[in-house]
A and B are shown apart, each in its own frame.
Chain A
Amino acid sequence: MTNPNNISLNISHALEFIDGHALNIPTLKILSEDGDILDGATAPDLDKETALRIYSTMRFIRLLDERMQAAQRQGRISFYMQCLGEEAAITASAAALKQEDMIMAQYREQAALHYRGFSLEQFMNQLFSNEKDLGKGRQMPVHYGSNELHYLTISSPLGTQIPQATGYAYGQKLKHIDAQSGELSSEIDNVTICYFGEGAASEGDFHAGLNMAAVHKAPVLFFARNNGYAISTPADEQFKGDGIASRGVGYGIKTIRVDGADTLAVYAATQKAREIAVTTGEPVLIESIAYRLGAHSTSDDPSGYRTKDEEAEFKSNCPVARFKAWLLKQGWLNEEEDEAQKDKIREEILAALKVAEKIQKPALEELVSDVYDTPIPALQKQYEELKEHIKQHPDAYPITAGRIK
């Protein structure tokens, strides 16, 4: 029976409470640590070309992260964030999507952006906030974004992209809804994937976004990266209950939990989730269980809050190595070529870094452009006054003084 509370009542006469962990959601795992398909598991339909593209993206991001982490330590950039330990989760999920699907990321998903085609030069231009940065040098390093690649520019406030993803996905669905019946009349062209960490799942926006998506049936794939830590706060100090996945169930959203270090499991889960979203118009939650091998950011020092033993345990479960082992067994990858490729990429990264750091900063007018579609009168006036001031004191403003018209 149903009632106005939208609940199917299952009447009981026993005084029983349901335990917070009662769901005990299973975790999908397909690939063993040695790169074998596990007994009872089915490998997803993943062609050689896609598999190698996933692998080369993971390898590239590892090398980029390693080099730019060092560049921050050298004082060449102000800040950096690695995705060490989560390469498989991010890359394989992005690979299971269409190029035109929207990506709304948190900040640690550079692998998804690279998979889409964001070039080494584009990464560098953003990291050095030079005049070629698509974001015009306004945000800290790693706040990437590209309209062409359908990757929403990163926002520092945590979790804000979650209800936005619901709204964006609803927009993607609108043209497929029959005006008379209000029902989905055809398969949806594109969906939105929304990445966030388990820490962000504590924000009000998470709850607002999931609830809105469930109620209004938005084709959004919520991808929770449960990597064990929110900066220094371990997961057991962040939430109770059965992970983030149980929240999805609570909101009435189809949910799956995957081993986030298993490229094949993440790929299979995301591919299926997308299929559900385009055919039903409904949201899906994927919780990826991985481990953040690196620091939260370059401002963080994980040695202060986790043990060497813990880190070593997870280092042995490297998502890149696991996928590589599978590729080698497939005969799709050659160890010697792989090593040679690595050296070549390292050289390219270093060369691109040297170019990007010499490109000049954005022009002064970028201080006032894009606040509105056109500068409002008060802002235009402030800009004119600033220009005059700089003209009178050019030595104090060497970056812009010589370029003012």
Chain B
Amino acid sequence: MAKMNMLHAINSALDITMAEHPQACIFGEDVGYFGGVFRATSGLQEKYGKHRVFNTPLTEQGILGFANGLAAFGAPALAEIQFADYIFPAFDQIVNESAKFRYRSGNEFNVGNLTIRTPYGGGIAGGLYHSQSPEAYFAHTPGLKLVVPRNPYQAKGLLRACIKDDNPVIFFEPKRLYRASTGEVPEGDYTIEIGKAEVVKEGKDVTVLAWGAQMEIIEQAAAKAEEAGISCEIIDLRSILPWDAETIAKSVTKTGRLVISHEAPITNGFGAEIAATIQKECFLHLESPIERVCGLDTPYPLALEKEYVPDALKVFAAIKKSVEF
């Protein structure tokens, strides 16, 4: 084990992949010698050569088009989109191409070797175009997998699982935690199963659910709730698609209450899907309406970010509302 921050953990997962497969390629804007805007790919070009770790022209649709082709050829394609906010020019290549490659060809061709990494989320004073959480757009697309880690250990194990998975995966990295989150991470290889939520802390009164950077927030809220005598079960969803409805339903059957929190705007956010499914699965066990604490239905702001974000106090208020219903 070694103490790593999330960037080191991601770099380590990429390093293992590059060493493992002689045709694996890392590419994106500035990922070469510079190591990417956040330095997640530092040192890899020196180690594996400019032909396998390279800067691309500034064309997100080009990056993903190229990635689809390289993955269809059979080489692990590790594409980076510099900010999740800039993934939309590549939307067609991801939603119409990556996601449908296998299905439309009757499995004659697939892009299972494709992994898209992209920093997402707020908390860095990035304003509208450096703070978005676009996971719900992609969660509506059969054929994709979506994964979000919450700390360095998860980041390395989940990223390795995404790379090994035989389907195209988007790996959303909580950029606020890149350097802020540190922990013990094995130096060798390991994977964490995609599609499984993790019960981070057991509790009995209310289930509180989030993913990625929002985990820290709900843990702070749960701590406040514990002080107020409310026992919270904390769950990290980890995979948005496929998502682990079974673990959530089991928890909510026990606690009778659910609070979901995510940074993206509330309307049609992924929390809506979870609320609808759990309402059906756990209808007779629910003691109160499912609460969602999310971003407002506005673009992500700059000056009033503190007011906008679903912070610990808002989550705590929702927990109380749920318990006192």
A residues whose Cβ falls under 8 Å from a Cβ of B: 102, 104, 133-136, 138-139, 143, 145-147, 152-153, 155, 157, 160, 162-172, 174-175, 177, 179-180, 182, 192, 204-205, 207-209, 211-212, 215-216, 366, 369-373, 376-379
B71, B96, B103: the one within 8 Å of A160 (CB): B96
Q: Does B143 touch A at the CB level, under 8 Å?
A: yes
Q: Does B93 touch A at the CB level, under 8 Å?
A: yes
Do residues B245 and A208 form an inter-chain contact, with CB atoms below 8 A?
no
Do residues A164 and B72 form an inter-chain contact, with CB atoms below 8 A?
yes
Do residues A212 and B195 form an inter-chain contact, with CB atoms below 8 A?
no
Q: Number of A-B pairs whose CB atoms are under 8 Å? A: 171
- Evaluate whether A170 and B62 lie within 8 angstroms (CB atoms) in the complex, with A160-B97, A372-B167, A373-B112 already known: no
A209 to B104, CA, bound (A): 22
B residues whose Cβ falls under 8 Å from a Cβ of A: 22-23, 25, 49-52, 54, 56-57, 59, 61-62, 64-75, 77, 89, 92-93, 96-97, 100, 102-110, 112, 142-143, 145, 166-167, 195, 241-243, 245-246
A175 to B75, CA, bound (A): 11
A349 to B38, CA, bound (A): 60
Do residues B109 and A378 form an inter-chain contact, with CB atoms below 8 A?
no
A145, A167, A212, A371: the one within 8 Å of B57 (CB): A212
Enumerate chain B residues within 8 angstroms of A212, measured Cβ to Cβ. 56-57, 59, 62, 65-66
Enumerate chain A residues within 8 angstroms of B195, measured Cβ to Cβ. 376-377
A152 to B111, CA, bound (A): 12
A136, A145, A167, A216: the one within 8 Å of B67 (CB): A167
Do residues B143 and A145 form an inter-chain contact, with CB atoms below 8 A?
no
A371 to B144, CA, bound (A): 9
B67, B108, B241: the one within 8 Å of A135 (CB): B108
Do residues B65 and A205 form an inter-chain contact, with CB atoms below 8 A?
yes
Minimum C-beta distance from A116 to chain B (A)? 14
Do residues B92 and A163 form an inter-chain contact, with CB atoms below 8 A?
no
Minimum C-beta distance from A204 to chain B (A)? 5
Do residues A378 and B59 form an inter-chain contact, with CB atoms below 8 A?
no
17 A-B contacts, Cβ less than 8 Å apart? Answer: A135-B106, A143-B104, A145-B109, A147-B105, A147-B108, A157-B97, A167-B73, A167-B77, A177-B49, A182-B51, A209-B66, A216-B56, A370-B107, A373-B110, A373-B166, A377-B195, A377-B245
Do residues A138 and B104 form an inter-chain contact, with CB atoms below 8 A?
yes
